[in-house]
A and B are shown apart, each in its own frame.
Chain A
């Protein structure tokens, strides 16, 4: 932007371009540093989650415990375990020593590096000292959360609900979008407007009668209410795909038509391969939207916990173990690891879809 400066403005001085480059470098460093600081603060809860999940729950309430997962250090000496403390020495240094014989005002200590060298006398109250910690990842939280949640079953349920509904949502959206983008029929524009207008309809308006019907059919407690409605072309997905299909040149269809391809063949061999990026984006959006969904599993699967997906099961787990943050954070990691990993792996497809649609649903 600033490069528009006319050539006359270029001074003869040899210093200027260099100085400008240095200034730009400084400005860039400052801006990037600022961004690093903001993003670190922004994502700090993730560090909290990760460190808490690997802590023993006693560490949370222990005084003087570090922020990272750690256990109090001990010295094994002559078949006994002696706790290590950070001891301020008379010469001003601080040493890590093992408490051999605690006393009220005076204690005897051992040097953990060389316990056989003899006892060290120290004046002062050992109870006021900070214990020495060493980094240790405590993985039992994950085992407990895994078993308590019956995680493999939850993962299976979530994958099935999200996977099957994605197949239905994307398949139907491709068909409907194809219909709206490639065929002329009476009332097409009116119907498309109607489709768009359903985007703003809050789910709650149709939810209660739908729930009553599904309950009457005996579908509550099964996956059916969470899957079947998505086989009928969600307005949002249709809109996104239709916009994309319109950008595919019709000459390609016509060439296929001349070769004798019918409408379905054109959809399969021309449109779908050309629109792969948009279809992948819709797949990802719908899959993780379904993965995330909380309200519908909550009302439909209330009576049947064995069919539950991760979202409601983890919320219930939180209700049971709310006093044990270490377990809750381990469960949170287990719930987010797949969506976040896929996001980073398929980042370009995601961003393309977001840019394309403007707003995620």
Chain B
């Protein structure tokens, strides 16, 4: 906007040039400079985005194997058929796709309420005027985001180890016999959820911005009306935050469909225990880089894209409300 209004003086000068200027007009020169500066991105877009997208779409109709690219043949919709049959549980389908989608969605169903609740609680805590050293606490709650995921995964593997980890020793000290978290099919998803608490940093900051955007008059009015803490939270904070909340839900959901590193390390690259860490993105990786079925992996990538696209459109449909709220703060 600033750019458009600021350079409005440009064209008026240009008009005064003769009908056939010897050199490029000022406006043309500006366009050329502009294109020159954005040219790296345009080249990158063509080379690393658009061309590969087309190629990936074409590949999804082939049986491309990087070990023998010369023998690639078109197999029509066979990859998609394998995918759909697998999801529907029909014979001839991918036997793991259904469970991998289920594992992913079920994980999201646990992860989202837990991390959102925790992030909101922490955001309210570090937003409280009663808290001394608020910036220090914000930094400390954000800090685990800066630990490389591989390192934080190893820390949690140690922490959740059934015999030498502290998690079960602490549970044991209060008389609870903890499970073998990461090696038990039923407890893997809860373990990964606990690990996910270390990733609340951004969510917390978004909630914090949302909380600071709520007009204080609303709280004053509630106080005048004699509202208690809980009803103030439920009737004012939560509804006012709902757009931010929704945004965080969608972002986390997209994140679970791209969940990979933790699943790879904890599942030893095989989906251990018993396929319980065979998350969607990990499944895609295995089809492509363990079984070299890159045609099918391309089809899976397009399914992933379709899912992410639908979820993103969901965000944008409601964008009007949450963008307004966030902007009201500034």
Closest A residue to B161 using CB positions: A325
Within 8 Å CB of A295, what residues of B?
260-261, 285
The verdict on B66 contacting chain A, using a C-beta distance below 8 Å, is: yes
Give A residues with C-beta under 8 Å from B: 1, 4, 24, 27-28, 30-32, 34-35, 38-39, 42-46, 48-49, 52, 60-61, 67, 172, 175-176, 178-186, 188, 191, 194-195, 198, 200-213, 215-216, 229, 231-233, 235, 238, 246-247, 250, 263, 288, 291-292, 294-295, 298-299, 302, 310-312, 314-315, 318-319, 322, 325, 328-329, 331-333, 335-336, 339-340, 343-344, 347, 350-351, 354-355, 358-360
Q: Which of B1-49 touch A at CB < 8 Å?
A: 1-4, 6-7, 10, 27, 30-45, 47-49
Contact of B154 among A35, A38, A232, A328 (CB under 8 A): A328
B269, chain A: closest CB distance, angstroms: 8
In the complex, what distance in Å separates the CA atom of A92 from the CA atom of B128? 50
Contact of B140 among A39, A48, A310 (CB under 8 A): A39
Within 8 Å CB of A299, what residues of B?
285, 289
In the complex, what distance in Å separates the CA atom of A31 from the CA atom of B122? 12
The verdict on B166 contacting chain A, using a C-beta distance below 8 Å, is: yes
Where chain A touches its partner, the secondary structure class is helix
Q: Contact at B31–A184, with CB atoms within 8 Å?
A: yes
Q: Contact at A229–B261, with CB atoms within 8 Å?
A: no
Contact of A44 among B166, B209, B257 (CB under 8 A): B166
Q: Which of B281-326 touch A at CB < 8 Å?
A: 281, 284-285, 288-289, 294, 297-298, 300-302, 304-305, 308-309, 312, 326
A23, chain B: closest CB distance, angstroms: 11
Q: List 16 A-B contacts (CB under 8 A).
A: A27-B130, A48-B158, A48-B165, A61-B164, A188-B34, A191-B42, A208-B52, A208-B64, A232-B43, A310-B150, A311-B148, A311-B261, A314-B154, A329-B158, A339-B148, A351-B139
In the complex, what distance in Å separates the CA atom of A238 from the CA atom of B294? 31
Give B residues with C-beta under 8 Å from A: 1-4, 6-7, 10, 27, 30-45, 47-49, 51-53, 55-56, 59, 64, 66, 69, 122, 125-126, 128-133, 137-152, 154-159, 161, 163-166, 197-198, 201-202, 205-206, 209, 216, 219-220, 251, 254, 257-258, 260-261, 264-265, 268-269, 281, 284-285, 288-289, 294, 297-298, 300-302, 304-305, 308-309, 312, 326
Q: Contact at B141–A42, with CB atoms within 8 Å?
A: yes
B267, chain A: closest CB distance, angstroms: 11
Closest B residue to A253 using CB positions: B6
B310, chain A: closest CB distance, angstroms: 11
Within 8 Å CB of A38, what residues of B?
122, 125
Closest B residue to A254 using CB positions: B6
Contact of B145 among A27, A195, A360 (CB under 8 A): A360
Within 8 Å CB of A311, what residues of B?
148-150, 261
Q: Contact at A185–B130, with CB atoms within 8 Å?
A: no
Given contacts A1-B219, A200-B308, A328-B157, 7 further A-B contacts (CB under 8 A): A28-B131, A185-B34, A232-B48, A315-B150, A328-B154, A332-B152, A350-B146
